[in-house]
Structure 1
């Protein structure tokens, strides 16, 4: 099998933030076998490789990527039985559009991902940063992934627990300023969803009820939830629309900040904050030779606190729609966390705006916001 090489196109055409030049080489894998062989061959050559799904969580620099870009275009959904009564499993190829999967699940009367309607990108990218919205995260339904490791070229099935999924992170996530704990590419994802059918039922999650204006015990269908989540996201410019420049973004550009409880107390009282659940079951190891029958009580410590990055930005004086003079990059007019490309903005312009926002928030509140997208060939 020959590698599926194509003529390179600018990465600005393949990313939702619309920045990036054409790379040296580009490949387009439409089957799992093509993807596996292409990655193995490129890794064996020692060439830098950038893997792209939907391009919705990438911020790419203006200089051409000096290596090979591999576009994952694999698609397909396979329904399988679940060992649990009332559940079904869906095995989905990595290149499948995420929202198309949600639409399919809702049409089949399967619940568990409907609140994540409208999230751009591909299924294979979803576990990498544990995507979530309105109280649902993929960690709640993920069973396992098939992946290929860069170091060995081996394909393996990894249970969800092996990915160490946390808030917008996993062992596969390339965080700004660091490398992933495990360098691998997801080939397929298996989810376990509840077979709820198309009847209305009460919604358990308080966060989802609040977002949709539902009273406790109020019953709605999974299709109703999908429709209303899509409407809510559109109102914030978070559903891709070529006619709306507010959607030319990488979604939330900065992560909500995780700070200590003591630091959180230094912030204004009206800054939205949520406790981060502490480890309630720490492992205590007592050498048997020194064990005297006494087990000390667990030492509790204050939980960390998640604070709203959007609130910090707006209350540092940067309102929705803010832009620097002569720049084609701006904050979204609908959502203070989204940096948008208002028309052929360079990566340098977007980065300049991001650094300005970081500086204002640091000067006002004493913390540095961290970017959420993966940065390729660009620094803040």
Structure 2
């Protein structure tokens, strides 16, 4: 097994690990992490590596790769299905398993790369579904408590691509720990999907919003949509050598949204969600503070639209760089072959600067940075 982070992440960049531990059992995972903590170390914990940008110098410490497996069906009420899933299970593998059994609730999350343990950290979501709607609890190895505890989903601060477990731009999370397993509750409704809640998916399926279809049909359509955007991993397609969407869609106040061009896509949201950082034009110093409730939100914008309207097109790359904007989707920063982490970061900074200069919005990155920052 390679101990180079470029071989362990979907962006395919990053230098060597000081030590690599493939944690194939829950006991090995827990024991290894606790031993590192006892020595005052903070190991790098990786699942599928699909949301990580690692420095070219690598990580001079222990990398724990979570490879645990297991899906257990628990007792549940009629029409409901409870599952306990080990953190190392493939997320899309879990979705495929649910769809094969006719259980709904995650079918719109098909094709998302990475492991199940990473899913609650940023509350993964796509096409009108979010993990939050089916997550019951997690088994968390809590660093402060130094023990394995069960944490209800309601205590995770789940929001748009965030939770109390997430490191925002390399910052320390509100609750530090390692996800060991998830408990989910799905629906068993004669093979029908959850109501279709996303216009693009409804259009692709040829139905109205709220319609319910065979789950397998929804999964197939979602996979086709993601593949058309280069968002389904493919070793032969460098457009998929990415971390998926590199930036989150900004959430801003309604009044600020009204200052944007009338054709800027926007979606009203409930109060209380974290907002984007909005700055007066010309005053950005390049730093990105952590999202805060001080920026109370009303409207979600399209990061892809902002990037494109700032003059950055699909396929764009800086001169001499091997990092590029995907030719299929403006939100994905890709490794076209042999790119370095510094090249990926330089392109991300350029995109941030262009959007900040044009619209006064600082785009927030999704990936976890290891050994570098924007």
Aligned to 2:164: 171
Alignment equivalent of 2:128, drawn from 123, 128, 135:
135
CA positional deviation for 1:334? 0.3
| Greater alpha carbon shift after TM alignment, 217-226 vs 370-379 | 217-226
Is 1:151 the counterpart of 2:144? The answer is: yes
Residue 212 (structure 1) shift: 3.4
**Is 1:348 the counterpart of 2:320 in the alignment?**
no
**Offset, 1:230:** 0.5
Gap change, CA 1:219 and 1:42, over 3 Å in 2: closer
Distance (whole Å) between structure 2 residues aligned to residue 188 and residue 161 of structure 1: 16
Task: Tell me how far apart the structure 2 counterparts of residues 173 and 274 of structure 1 sit (CA, whole Å).
Answer: 24
The answer to whether the 8 A contact 1:203-1:219 is kept is yes
Q: Does 1:74 align with 2:45?
A: no
RMSD: 1.8
Residue 203, structure 1, aligned to residue 195, structure 2: yes
Task: Classify 1:64/1:201 alpha carbon distance in 2 versus 1 (closer, same or farther; 3 Å).
Answer: closer
Match of 1:114 in 2: 107
Indicate conservation of the 8 Å contact 1:8/1:25, yes or no: no
Q: TM-score, normalised by structure 1?
A: 0.89
Give the secondary-structure state (helix, strand or coil) at the position aligned to 1:67. Answer: strand
Q: CA deviation at 1:359?
A: 1.2
CA distance in 1, matches of 2:308, 2:154: 37
Q: SS at 2:312's partner residue? A: coil
User: In the alignment, what sits opposite 1:258?
Assistant: 251
Segment drifting more, 174-183 vs 227-236? 174-183
Offset from partner CA, 1:40-74 (integer Å, 9 cap, x none):
11111112310000000001111121211000000
Structure 2 unaligned runs (5+)?
A: 274-294
CA separation of 1:367 and 1:213: change in aligned 2, threshold 3 A: same
* Other-structure match for 1:14: 8
Structure 1 residues 212-251: aligned runs within 5 Å: 212-216=205-209, 218-251=211-244
Tell me whether 337-346 or 145-154 shows the greater mean CA deviation: 145-154
CA contact (8 A) 2:243 2:367 kept: yes
Are the counterparts in 1 of residues 196 and 211 from structure 2 also a CA contact under 8 Å?
no
Distance in 2 separating the partners of 1:210 and 1:128: 30
> In structure 2, how many angstroms separate the alpha carbons of the residues matched to 1:68 and 1:177?
18
Structure showing greater Rg: 1
Q: Does 1:27 align with 2:25?
A: no
Q: Which of 356, 362, 370 is equivalent to 2:364?
A: 370
- Of the three residues 152, 157, 160, the one matched with 2:153 is 160
Question: CA shift at 1:177, angstroms?
Answer: 4.9
| 8 Å CA contact retained: 2:241, 2:335 | yes
**Stretch moving more, 250-259 or 302-311:** 302-311
**Aligned-partner SS, 1:336:** coil
Deviation at 1:215, TM superposition (A): 2.6
SS across alignment from 1:90: strand
Encode CA deviations 1:152-172: one digit per residue, 9 max, x unaligned. 320111111111111000000
| Structure 1 residues 214-272: Cα deviation after superposition (integer angstroms, max 9, x where no partner) | 23565520011011100110010000000111100000001111112121111111111
2:346 counterpart SS class: helix
Of the structure 1 ranges 200-209 and 214-223, higher mean CA displacement relative to structure 2 is found in: 200-209
Worse-superposed segment, 189-198 or 208-217 = 208-217
Match for residue 89 of structure 2 among 96, 101, 116: 96
Contact 2:105 2:194 in 1 (8 A): no
Aligned to 2:298: 304
Residues 217, 252 of structure 1: alpha-carbon distance in 2 compared, 3 angstrom cutoff: closer
Structure 1 position 201, deviation (Å): 6.4
Deviations 1:8-61 (A, max 9, x none): 611000000111111111111101111111111111111231000000000111
Instruction: Please tell me whether residue 359 in structure 1 is matched to residue 353 in structure 2.
Output: yes
Within 5 Å, which residues of 2 pair with 1:304-343?
304-343=298-337
Gap runs ≥5 in structure 1: 1-6, 281-300
Structure 1 CA distance for aligned equivalents of residues 354 and 180 of structure 2: 41
